Structure 1
Amino acid sequence: METDEYIYGTRAVIEAINKGKTVERVFIKTGLQNELIHELISLVKEHEIAAQFVPIEKINRITRKNHQGVLAFVSPIEYTNIEVLLPTVFETGKDPLLLVLDQITDVRNFGAIARSAECAGVDAIIIPEKGMARIGADAIKTSAGALHHVPVCKVKSLTKTIHFLQESGIAILASTEKADSVYTSGNFNRPVAIVMGSEESGISEAVLKIADEKLKIPLLGNIESLNVSVSAALMIYEAVRQRS
């Protein structure tokens, strides 16, 4: 059976994968062994879907219906391949404006960022497969539906993707309090990807190390940081301002 956010039951999950649904993660009851489960595990490996053996209680907390020990989370959106999308943006004659999100785990922050990105005409949001807020009903609602309009690219490695962007002529501008330059001094009037990190740990060192430019948003009060969705909106709209 299926809801907006998950599918339960072994055959239903197998059918969803075979039909090309965007299955993000599969929970399988610990110790469950039968022919259908082996078929499901093979499919999961073939399609490189994250799978986890979990206690039955974890699945029961999500649904009490006849799940047969199997539950899969489905994405309400279709993901886009950044390597396919980027050339099409260049072909329009526009300087691409991309947004890279690193370790943004709060669903509401992610939704709010997506809303600002769509309103500002961001060409794509790039997110990692792991360590990222799951795109479900809450994210869609918080984004005011923006996640149905702005392309989202899920990638295995942010660092490899950033190298690809740089090789494609995209400047990587990282928003970090560790920077010396204020964000308004950055050059957004060119092909750019803005990188935002979580409020707790910021941008990962591996990503920060390969950024072309590091920019900070000045803080004049006693609070140490802005909400990441506010910071993202400031960075995005600085690009809009400079390009206007």
Structure 2
Amino acid sequence: MKDGQRIFGIRAIIEAIDAEQAINKVYLQKGLQGDLFQQLEGMLRKQKISTSYVPIQKLDKLVHGNHQGAVASLSKIEFQDFESTIESILEREKSPLLLLLDQVTDVRNFGAIIRTAECTGVHAVIVPRSGSAPLNDIAIKTSAGAAFNIPIIKVDHLKDAIYYLQPSGVAIVAATEKADKSVYDIDFKNPTAVVMGSEEKGINPSTLKVVDEMMKLPIKGKIESLNVSVACGAILYEVLRQRIT
């Protein structure tokens, strides 16, 4: 059942997860048992959905109804369908610009990146379904509302998105310290998908194996890496500079 921006009831939340609804967090009653409850717990772990175990009084305050010991908070923004959104962009835009985020788990970085992406003309942001920061109120606030203005897409695996984009002529360019080329050596005027990873883990090695090019930002200081949202901003503004000159 629904109550504004929340879903409550164990089976209702299971169905919401199956339907790939954008769930920010799930509150579960402490000490609850049962097969269906364990099924929900397993799904939450598999999808890496943020979960808190709380007293029943907390759940009673969150919703008015038979919550069965489970309440889910929904995102205000729905994720877009991958294929239909990408096909629309490819048909509409002469030189589409896409942003793929791999293992970016900090919500404030996520929001800041979305804000910069919208400002620099990115046509869609693509994230993996598992292991990404939630598109919650903090991310939306940090984006300064940009999250409402740009398509955000979840996919099962970023490699599948890359394999889909490459035959359409989209160059996949990954930002990594392992690169030999500088960002200033890359031609961004053609259809491009920029791949960014977190400063802790970077881009998954298996993803790096399938990209078309790798690039890095030159760093002169003693600190060896930039915050991912700062690095993403520097790269996207180089893309924009090339495209408006």
Q: TM-score band, normalised by the shorter chain?
A: 0.7 to 0.9
Letter matched to residue 237 of structure 2? Y
How many Å separate the matches in 1 of 2:55 and 2:240?
A: 44
Which secondary structure state, in structure 1, belongs to the residue aligned with residue 99 of structure 2? strand
Which secondary structure state, in structure 1, belongs to the residue aligned with residue 174 of structure 2? strand
Q: Deviations over 1:113-132 (max 9, x none)?
A: 00000111110000001111
Counterpart residue number, 1:187: 187
Report the CA distance between 1:52 and its aligned residue. Answer: 4.6
Matched, 1:64 2:58: yes
Is the Cα–Cα contact under 8 Å of residues 217 and 231 in structure 1 kept in the other structure?
yes
How many Å separate the matches in 2 of 1:217 and 1:52?
A: 35
Q: For this pair of structures, how many residues does the alignment match?
A: 229
Taking structure 2 as the reference length, what is the TM-score of the superposition? Answer: 0.82
CA shift in 2, pair 1:188/1:61, >3 Å: farther
Counterpart residue number, 2:237: 237
Which secondary structure state, in structure 2, belongs to the residue aligned with residue 64 of structure 1? helix
Q: Deviations over 1:9-53 (max 9, x none)?
A: 447647x849x782437666676338xx48x96xx8xxxx94359
Is the Cα–Cα contact under 8 Å of residues 102 and 197 in structure 1 kept in the other structure?
yes
Letter matched to residue 21 of structure 2? T
How many Å separate the matches in 1 of 2:106 and 2:211?
A: 24
Matched, 1:105 2:105: yes
Letter matched to residue 51 of structure 1? L
How many Å separate the matches in 1 of 2:43 and 2:22?
A: 9
Counterpart residue number, 1:135: 135
Counterpart residue number, 1:33: 34
Counterpart residue number, 1:51: 44
Is the Cα–Cα contact under 8 Å of residues 21 and 74 in structure 1 kept in the other structure?
no
Report the aligned-residue RMSD: 3.0
How many Å separate the matches in 2 of 1:63 and 1:200?
A: 38
Counterpart residue number, 2:178: 178
Name whichever of 152-161 and 57-66 sits farther off: 57-66
Which secondary structure state, in structure 2, belongs to the residue aligned with residue 239 of structure 1? helix
Which secondary structure state, in structure 2, belongs to the residue aligned with residue 99 of structure 1? strand
Report the CA distance between 1:161 and its aligned residue. Answer: 1.1
Taking structure 1 as the reference length, what is the TM-score of the superposition? Answer: 0.82
How many Å separate the matches in 1 of 2:82 and 2:140?
A: 21
Is the Cα–Cα contact under 8 Å of residues 23 and 72 in structure 1 kept in the other structure?
no
Flag as ranges the 4+ runs of structure 1 deviating above 6 A. none
How many Å separate the matches in 1 of 2:185 and 2:232?
A: 16
How many Å separate the matches in 1 of 2:55 and 2:214?
A: 43
How many Å separate the matches in 2 of 1:142 and 1:188?
A: 27
CA shift in 2, pair 1:82/1:21, >3 Å: closer
Is the Cα–Cα contact under 8 Å of residues 106 and 133 in structure 1 kept in the other structure?
yes
Is the Cα–Cα contact under 8 Å of residues 101 and 126 in structure 1 kept in the other structure?
yes
Letter matched to residue 148 of structure 1? F
Which secondary structure state, in structure 1, belongs to the residue aligned with residue 130 of structure 2? coil
Is the Cα–Cα contact under 8 Å of residues 22 and 78 in structure 1 kept in the other structure?
yes
CA shift in 2, pair 1:62/1:108, >3 Å: farther
Percent identity over the alignment? 44
Report the CA distance between 1:69 and its aligned residue. Answer: 1.8
Is the Cα–Cα contact under 8 Å of residues 111 and 143 in structure 1 kept in the other structure?
yes
